[in-house]
Every structure is written in C-alpha cells, then in structure tokens.
Amino acid sequence: MPAAPVLLPENESELILARLGERGIPSLIDVHTHFMPHSVMRKVWAYFDSAGPLTGREWPIAYRMDDEARVEMLRSFGVRRFSSLSYPHKPGMAQWLNDWSADFADAHPDVLRSATFYPEPGVADYVAAALESGVQVFKVHLQVGAYDAHDPLLDDVWAALEESGTPVILHGGNGPTPGEFTGAARMRTLLERFPRLTMVAAHMGMPEYGAFLDLADDFPRVHLDTTMAFTRFTESTMPFPADRRDDLVRLGDRVLFGTDFPNIPYPYLEAVDAVLGMGLGVEWERKVLHDNAARLFGLA
C-alpha cells in the first residue's frame, strides 16, 4: 500500500512566491521534473509505493495527480520552465517516450523539450532526429536503464551531443544505491572521451558529491543539479560534506535547481528551502534557482 500521504502546506504557492520575492528572484526553472506516459508513471509510483530495493525506505509520492494538475501546480509555484524527463529500461522504448514527450511539449510551451535514448540499433538516428526537432535536454538514467554509457552503440550519440552542446541530465551517481554501470569514475572516463559534453550530474552525483564537484572542476561543461540534495530526507542518509560548501560557491555558475517533482516524499517548498537553507548568499541562490538554467537553455 502507498505510504501515508505527504502533508502539503495549504498556502504552499504563496510561501514559495514570498521566498522568491524577498530575494528579487523572478521565477524558478526546474530542470529535473518528470512527466511520462500514464502507464509508465503508474509503474514508477508503484515501485516507490513498494519501498523498492533501490530505496529501502518509505517513499510517499507528494504530488500524485494527473498531468494537467501537476503542470498547474508548478506554475503556481512560480516555475517558469520545467522538463518532462523520461527514461527507458529496455530496447524499443525510447522512441515511444520521445514521441510522447514531443506531444507533451507541443501542448505546454513552458516545458523544456525533453528526450532520452537507449543503446540499441538506430539510436544515433533517432537522437539526431530529436536534435533536429529542437529537443533541449536529454535524460539518461544508467541505474534504472542498467546499461553501460560506453556501449559502442552510443559512441555516435555522445559525439552528436558533444557537438550540439545539448545538456544531458545524467543519473550516473551511486545514489541511492550503486548500479552496475554507475559511479564517478565511470563518468570521468566518459568525459575523458567526450570532454565537451554538456553533462548535468543528477542529484549532484550523490553520495559522491566531492568526486562530481571535481568533475565540474576538470570539465568546464559539467553542471550539477540540486535534485533532492540538501533536504532533510537526503541529509539523513547521504549528507552533503561540509568541507565542500566553498566549492558550491566557486562553481556557482554551474549548479542548477532540480527537484524530481512529482516523485518526492516531501513538499516542493522543502526543495526550495533546502537551497535557500545553505546560506550561500542571495546571488548564489538566484543563479541556482533561475539564472544558470536560463543561460544554459538560452531563455530570454
């Protein structure tokens, strides 16, 4: 059975907008949100409801509602742009997800056009077609997909993404548990092969925060998203190292706000407050919550 529902603040939108207004931040850009075909999203929710083996803990879905209600919820929070990240776990799935995501973006102009891929025959062709169609961001989930980023079938894909500069939100870290093909060392090898790849390390690479910050130091197109980082939920098991806080400021132009909405076990407000609670200054907060993503995606 699903965990007890998350108690959401009745005035959550007003609280978020007040925090932004106090800091002169015009709006939020959330680079890590999920909108998927209904059958896929139901399976994702069922996985979390069962306290799946990758989580091992109670994980209620805070925003279990239909697509349109979730879109309106994000808009009410002051989210100016958001993604519709999907990811396949088997061959023959990625193109279907990409077609669905294209239709979803056509119907919602505030969506960052999103796509994905899987190591399979024809992958270079449908990624090229996605780039030609104006896709703005790709999602790669090596843990769920259980595939090797170094699969030869993906060589032309990485080369095309490197050349285009299109951001790839890549879940390559070992959180919540290591996968066969995850880890900072493997991501470093990928970047050594494709050093101009615009990679956004999902979840800041947790729990290997330091190793992923080092990647950002060594590869100037590497970014990190804050998805679930710094929250009480994550800090209880995978705390951000206090001795790397200065690196967050130094690399502040390449930290992006992300949440995992709707699949979070706490209010959206907590994701915003987690960033603000770092106490790294209004300029850093504005960059993370809005400006960095606006620059990366070329938003006016």
> How does pLDDT run across 211-249, given as a tens digit for each residue?
999 999 999 999 999 999 999 999 999 999 999 999 999
| 168-216 tens-digit pLDDT | 999 999 998 899 999 999 999 999 999 999 999 999 999 999 999 999 9
The pLDDT of 71-89, averaged and rounded, is 98
pTM reported for the whole predicted model = 0.97
Dihedral angle computed from the Cα positions of residues 264, 268, 272 and 273, in that order, rounded to the nearest 10 degrees: -90
Does residue 12 lie in a domain region?
no
Query: Is the per-residue pLDDT at 57 higher than 90?
Result: no
Q: Per-residue confidence at 2, pLDDT binned at 50, 70, 90? A: low
Does residue 90 lie in a domain region?
yes
- In whole numbers, what is the pLDDT of the chain averaged over residues? 96
Which residues span the domain enclosing 289? 30-296
Query: Is the per-residue pLDDT at 97 higher than 70?
Result: yes
Give the model's pLDDT for residue 53. 63
Q: Per-residue confidence at 54, pLDDT binned at 50, 70, 90? A: low
Q: How many C-beta atoms lie closer than 10 Å to residue 28's C-beta?
A: 25
Does residue 21 lie in a domain region?
no
| 240-280 tens-digit pLDDT | 999 999 999 999 999 999 999 999 999 999 999 999 999 99
Does residue 194 lie in a domain region?
yes
Query: Is the per-residue pLDDT at 1 higher than 60?
Result: no
| 160-175 tens-digit pLDDT | 999 999 999 999 999 9
Does residue 249 lie in a domain region?
yes
Does residue 212 lie in a domain region?
yes
Does residue 240 lie in a domain region?
yes
**Rounded to whole angstroms, what are the CA distances from 155 to 97, 135, 145?**
21, 19, 17
- The CATH number assigned to the domain holding 251 equals 3.20.20.140
How many distinct structural domains can be found in the chain?
1
Does residue 20 lie in a domain region?
no
